Every structure is written in structure tokens, then in C-alpha cells.
Amino acid sequence: MELNISESRSRSIRCIVKLGGAAITCKNELEKIHDENLEVVACQLRQAMLEGSAPSKVIGMDWSKRPGSSEISCDVDDIGDQKSSEFSKFVVVHGAGSFGHFQASRSGVHKGGLEKPIVKAGFVATRISVTNLNLEIVRALAREGIPTIGMSPFSCGWSTSKRDVASADLATVAKTIDSGFVPVLHGDAVLDNILGCTILSGDVIIRHLADHLKPEYVVFLTDVLGVYDRPPSPSEPDAVLLKEIAVGEDGSWKVVNPLLEHTDKKVDYSVAAHDTTGGMETKISEAAMIAKLGVDVYIVKAATTHSQRALNGDLRDSVPEDWLGTIIRFSK
Amino acid sequence: MELNISESRSRSIRCIVKLGGAAITCKNELEKIHDENLEVVACQLRQAMLEGSAPSKVIGMDWSKRPGSSEISCDVDDIGDQKSSEFSKFVVVHGAGSFGHFQASRSGVHKGGLEKPIVKAGFVATRISVTNLNLEIVRALAREGIPTIGMSPFSCGWSTSKRDVASADLATVAKTIDSGFVPVLHGDAVLDNILGCTILSGDVIIRHLADHLKPEYVVFLTDVLGVYDRPPSPSEPDAVLLKEIAVGEDGSWKVVNPLLEHTDKKVDYSVAAHDTTGGMETKISEAAMIAKLGVDVYIVKAATTHSQRALNGDLRDSVPEDWLGTIIRFSK
């Protein structure tokens, strides 16, 4: 099925965006969305997708009943003579943050063992929590006029073999994009043909999508400025933001900006501690694998001017001095 | 892909259940679930799935935060030494009722034309509404200890060709069932390769599933006792409940119980007027097509003793005199 994807693409994918769980949920409160951040992220995404074309009026696409109201909120009459906005092709993948995390870790879903009642219950509970988050993100983006389609990896036929992607219905993702929609996938509980079940992280999904859809660039939106040489915190005022990481043909990577004094020193990297699906080590190696495909990766703080520039693709040719974030790119 | 399904099934599917939109939502209030009915339906489903085996303690599988609480509701410690209940294989498909209906009809999604801004917006809005309902139904069944997995037809690769099913990833549905879960599908907005897009009704999904999964029987839960010879209402006290309809090899059907005086009289059938995806004419002909496969179809009022008996499969051998509902079955 995957063989036909490039044929069916009439226009290439511009960007895959990861909405990090830490950026869009409140990490210290269970199942709580960071509404302010999510609203800004939606607005920046729309900006970026319009690619400099004149912004038309936002056509809200979440016509759900609002809490406390018995009415549907939709100005259908206003839409009639609106021109359709011409959006470039984006795919969104989000993490779980404070959704799904409790359910997955209490039941040990990532370790497999579906025959155990607690794992089976935790599998169902995890999927309920992450699909709930998915729905809320789809709604937030739709309110901003982005034609989003929630696509749960489990339902889309994603399964794993010892946590590596074993199958995925990328044809449906590609068809959704070609029909002018923005698929919104997420980290999910899936079946694993060795372990029985596991957690498929958003980062692994992005690598798989990048490999098959070959976007121009990938943006990871997170809750700190980028990748540091050690976990940034008030007690670590000297943590250095790594602005550029070069990835070699063998997948190894090194920091090229700033030039660190001890380049052989192991970077104690950390972006988002609030991530149970592998943390920063997974994140950098996933990003390096994407960069190895020739796709630039930008890791940047969500809802800032820096994230807007990254989403817009402003960094493709040259990186402005005042841009803060981490670029991971292939270097021959 | 569909060819391998029967091979991969280790045990056959017992029942496909349609939760009619009119039975599980409040038809006169937008996007409002009929909580009492849904709770009874979930309880009856669990009963039926246990197939007479000793009912074990319910292991709740919705560990979401409840409104107004900051805590997750989950007694993980209680589960540890519970034995897993042995459920027989069910598939659930639900309609939209007062969800999705407004969004679909205001935008004309069923007629296609994705290039129009209003259709595109309505497509997104419809999917948000029906996936919201799907999540709530999955949660209600999971609270009752049923290991449910929400599967949106759009994401599962269902698409149509002039409203007929053109593709569907049944392999993922079958794999989900074989892993001990209960897939919960629903009427959905999908891509149509002639019209651009349309609405795929829950009834059409059921026929397609029945054709490929060959369940022992199919139950339609609705909001009246069954199929009548004319729309039942206070002003039609003489409406007659059709207890048995026989379907011939050519797909034609006739009422065999009660024996109507004028059997050539066209039945002015109506079960649920609150159904925009074809109404009763579609429903009977879909049911007849299922019956033609040799699969008994029971149309019955949700949350009654009659629905419990139908779900249990009590009607397979003989139909008790006091059972109220409509049986549609194949007759050579």
C-alpha cells in the first residue's frame, strides 16, 4: 500500500508538527489542557499554513454545543460566499502530556501482557484518555479554521513489533492530506505482535511519517527553548542552549553551534522530563534519524515568536541570530 | 486484506449490535446523550457477553478524571487478583442521533462537494460531533467493564463510492476482536471517490461487517418496540407491530407474523424518524440484506427485557410468545 503514496501525492507535504505533551497540557494537573498555549499554537499553525497568502476570515469548524448552551455555535450563513483558504500541507502529531500517562504507567501497558486484567483495563483507559485529548486538540485547531481530522493510530492500523512500527495505514493519511485536511495523530496504545501491546510514542510516529511522507521540515513544539547541554532549571543557570546539531551519515551527531569547549563531553540533554515514552534520549535519536533523511528538525518553545518562525519555514535558508531553538540537520 | 480475515479468526463473532441514535441520545436536544438508556444498554451488553457464565466483579476501564474532581477514578489495587471475564465476541456500531445531525444537514456533507468551504467545514464539524459521541459511548461501556475500543470508520480507512462501501480496513477490526476487545464503530463522514465526501451510515457499516464477519445474529436497538405497519404514535393506536419478516433468496421480504389481512398492502414502516441517513426504508432493506446472508436480525426497543433477550441470543432457537420486537430472517 505504501508504494503508491508518492504517486498519489499531487503536492508535497510541507511540515510535520509535533505538539509536545508538555507544551499543550498542564504537567502538574491530571488531564488538563493548557488552553492558552493551545490557542496560540492553533493560531500560529494557521498563519504558517497560509504561507504568506492574504489571511481570509477564519471559518470556524467546531460547531459543537458549548458547555452551558443549548445552541450550536456556527455562522453557516457567513460561510456561503467565503473563499476557501489555500493551506499548505501539514500533519500534526501530539503527545499525551498529563493525559494517558497515569493510566499507562499504573497498568504497565507499555510492557505488554494483555492477558492480565489490569493491562487490558489500562489499555482501554489509556486509549480513552488520549483520544479525549485528541478530540480537544482537533476542536481547538478547527475553531481556528484548520480543517483537522483526528486519526487515532490504533484505528489507522498502526501496530508494533517490540515497539518498532510493524504496520501503519499511511495510504489513509496520505489520502486525507490530499483531500485538503490536516490529519491529527497522537501517541497511542497499540497492539504489539511480540509483547501483546505497548505504547507507540508520538516521536516514533513522526519518524515513520517523515520517512514515508518526506516533509520539507519537522517542528517539535515543546515547553523549553530547545535542547540544552544539561536540564535547564533555576539551579542550573549555566545550562547552554544547543543551537545546531549536525547529524552524520552513520546517524552520529555533534553540536556545531555553540562550539562547546569539551566536545567529547557527553551532553546531559533534557527538553521535557514529563515524557514517559523515552524522554530526551529517545527524542534526540528520533530527531537525528529524521535529519538523516535530509529533513531539517527544529525543536522550539511553543507559543513564542521562535516557534512561529520555525513553523513558517523561515529557518530553511538561513537562521537569524536572534532565533532561539535547536536545529538538527544532516551534514555530509 | 479481507481474504485473510476468516483465517485469522480463532473464534467466531457472536453478535453485531447497533445502538440506534434515537435510543442513546435525546432526540429533542442537540448533542445530549440519553444517559439512563445508555447505562442500561451497557449493563445488558455486559450480561449478554458473559453468556451465562458467573458474573465476576466489574472492572471499570474508564479511568478518566470526573468533572469537578482532580483525581482519577480507578481502583487499580482492586484489580490485581481479579480473574479476567471471558467475554464472547461482540462488535458495536452506533448511530448519530442528535450528534452530527445538525452539522451534516446544515452543510450538506452527504451530498459531497468538498471544494465548497461550507461542506469542508461541515465535514470537520460532523466528525468532531460524532467522534465526541463515540468517546462518550466507549466510556459508558468501559465503565461497565466492557473492553471497548473506539474505531472511527474514517480513520479505519472506510471510504465510499457513491455512498456504497468502497474500502474498509476490516483486518484491523478483526485483529481488535481477536485481541479480546470490543470495537465500537459509528456512522461517520467519509471520503467518497465520486462525490468527494458523504455520510456513511451505521446501518451500511453493519451490513458490510455482517457480510465479512458472519456473526450469529445482529441486534438493532431502537426507541420503539420494533417495526410497525405504520408509524406508531398516539394518533395511530392501531399500528401493528410486525413480529416476523421473512426474506427470500431474491431479497424480497414479507410479513409472516402477524398475518396481515392485506398482505399486498404496502407497509408504511417507520421505526425512527430521527434518522437522516435513509430512514426506515433503508433500515429494512439493510436488515433484509443481512438476513439474506443467513444472519438473523432482531429490531427491538433498547433498555427493555426484550432487548436483553435479543442480545443474549435467546431468540435463536424459538421466540417466546411474550417477546416484543421484530425478527427479520432468511427463509428458503
pLDDT of residue A169: 92
Residues forming a β-bridge with A72 = A65
Secondary structure letter of residue A226 according to DSSP: S
The residue of chain A nearest to residue B177, with distances taken between CA atoms, is A191
Nearest Cα residue to A311 out of A33, A42, A61: A42
pLDDT of residue A9: 43
Q: How far apart are CA A97 and CA A28, in angstroms?
A: 10
Residue to mutate among B2, B75, B128, B177, with most A CBs inside 10 A, is B128
State mean pLDDT over B93-107. 93
pLDDT of residue A277: 44
| Residue A68 located in a structural domain | no
pLDDT of residue A281: 62
pLDDT, tens digit, for every residue of A70-92? Answer: 777 776 777 766 667 788 999 99
Minimal CA separation from A94 to chain B, in Å: 16
Contact (Cβ atoms closer than 8 angstroms) between residue B292 and residue B208: no
* Cell numbers for B179: 485481541
pLDDT, tens digit, for every residue of B317-330? Answer: 899 999 999 999 99
Residues 6+ apart with CB under 8 A from B203: B18, B95, B277, B278, B282, B283, B286
Question: Is the link from the previous residue into B147 a cis peptide, with omega within 30 of 0?
Answer: no
Give the lowest-confidence range in A239-253, B183-197, B307-321.
A239-253
pLDDT of residue A252: 86
Q: How far is CA A267 from CA A227, A228, A260, B247, in A?
A: 10, 8, 10, 72
- B283 is in which domain, residue-wise? 7-52+85-330
From B102, B154, B179, residue closest to A149, measured CB to CB: B154
Q: How far apart are CA A187 and CA B309, in angstroms?
A: 40
| Residue A69 located in a structural domain | no
| pLDDT-derived band at B11, boundaries 50, 70, 90 | low
pLDDT, tens digit, for every residue of A269-290? Answer: 434 333 444 455 666 788 999 9
Provide the ipTM: 0.91
The whole-chain average pLDDT of chain B stands at 87
pLDDT of residue B19: 97
Q: Flag whether pLDDT at B240 surpasses 80.
A: yes
Place of cell 470526573: B66
CA A59 to chain centre: 24
Q: Flag whether pLDDT at B215 surpasses 80.
A: yes
Residue A131 at interface with chain B, using a CB cutoff of 8 Å: yes
Q: Flag whether pLDDT at B5 surpasses 50.
A: no
Q: How far apart are CA B138 and CA A122, in angstroms?
A: 14
Pairs from B313-318 (Cβ < 8 Å, separation ≥ 24): B313/B14, B313/B15, B313/B48, B313/B216, B313/B217, B315/B217, B316/B216, B316/B217
pLDDT, tens digit, for every residue of B13-38? Answer: 999 999 999 999 998 899 999 999 99
What beta strand segments (E) does A2-65 contain? 15-19
State mean pLDDT over B299-313. 97
Q: Flag whether pLDDT at A126 surpasses 90.
A: yes
Number of domains making up chain B: 1
Residue A277 at interface with chain B, using a CB cutoff of 8 Å: no
User: Is A155's CB within 8 Å of B159's CB?
Assistant: no
3-state secondary structure chain B: CHHHHHHHCCCCCCEEEEECHHHHECCCCCCCECHHHHHHHHHHHHHHHHCCCCCCCCCCCCCCECCCCCCECCCHHHHCCCCCCCCCCEEEEECCCCCCHHHHHHHCHHHCCCCCHHHHHHHHHHHHHHHHHHHHHHHHHHHCCCCEEECCCCCCCCEEECCEEEECCHHHHHHHHHCCCEEEEECEEEEECCCEEEEECHHHHHHHHHHHHCCCEEEEEECCCCCECCCCCCCCCCCCECCEEEECCCCCEEEEECCCCCCCCCCCCCCCCCCCCCHHHHHHHHHHHHHHCCCEEEEEECCCHHHHHHHHCCCCCCCCCCCCCEEEEECC
pLDDT of residue A7: 42
State mean pLDDT over A310-317. 94
Give the lowest-confidence range in A123-137, A223-237, A302-316, B13-27.
A223-237
pLDDT of residue B6: 43
pLDDT, tens digit, for every residue of B243-274? Answer: 999 999 988 888 899 987 654 445 544 343 33
* Cell numbers for B176: 481488535
State mean pLDDT over B47-75. 81
Residues of B in contact with A176 (CB under 8 A): 191
How many CB atoms sit inside 10 A of residue B182's CB?
Answer: 22
Phi/psi at B330 (nearest 5 deg)?
-75, 140
Strands B148-150 and B182-186: parallel
Q: Flag whether pLDDT at B87 surpasses 80.
A: yes
Nearest Cα residue to B98 out of B35, B31, B38: B31
**Which residue did the predictor score with more confidence, A120 or B272?**
A120
Q: How far apart are CA B312 and CA B321, in angstroms?
A: 17
pLDDT, tens digit, for every residue of A8-17? Answer: 444 589 999 9
Q: Flag whether pLDDT at A5 surpasses 50.
A: no
pLDDT of residue B233: 80
Q: What angle do CA B83, B87, B92 make, to 5 degrees?
A: 135
| Residue A287 located in a structural domain | yes
pLDDT of residue B332: 76
The whole-chain average pLDDT of chain A stands at 87
State mean pLDDT over B293-321. 95
| Residue B122 located in a structural domain | yes
User: Is A124's CB within 8 Å of B62's CB?
Assistant: yes
Residues 6+ apart with CB under 8 A from B256: B244, B245, B246, B331
Nearest Cα residue to B281 out of B167, B197, B201, B187: B201
From B128, B175, B180, residue closest to A142, measured CB to CB: B128
From A114, A172, A191, residue closest to B157, measured CB to CB: A172
| pLDDT-derived band at B173, boundaries 50, 70, 90 | very high
CATH number at residue A301: 3.40.1160.10
Q: What is the CA radius of gyration of chain B?
A: 20
Q: What is the CA radius of gyration of chain A?
A: 20
| pLDDT-derived band at A326, boundaries 50, 70, 90 | very high
Residue B25 at interface with chain A, using a CB cutoff of 8 Å: no
Q: Flag whether pLDDT at B2 surpasses 80.
A: no
pLDDT of residue B55: 65
Residue to mutate among A5, A46, A61, A193, with most B CBs inside 10 A, is A61
* Cell numbers for A4: 503508491
| Residue A63 located in a structural domain | no
User: Is B131's CB within 8 Å of A124's CB?
Assistant: no
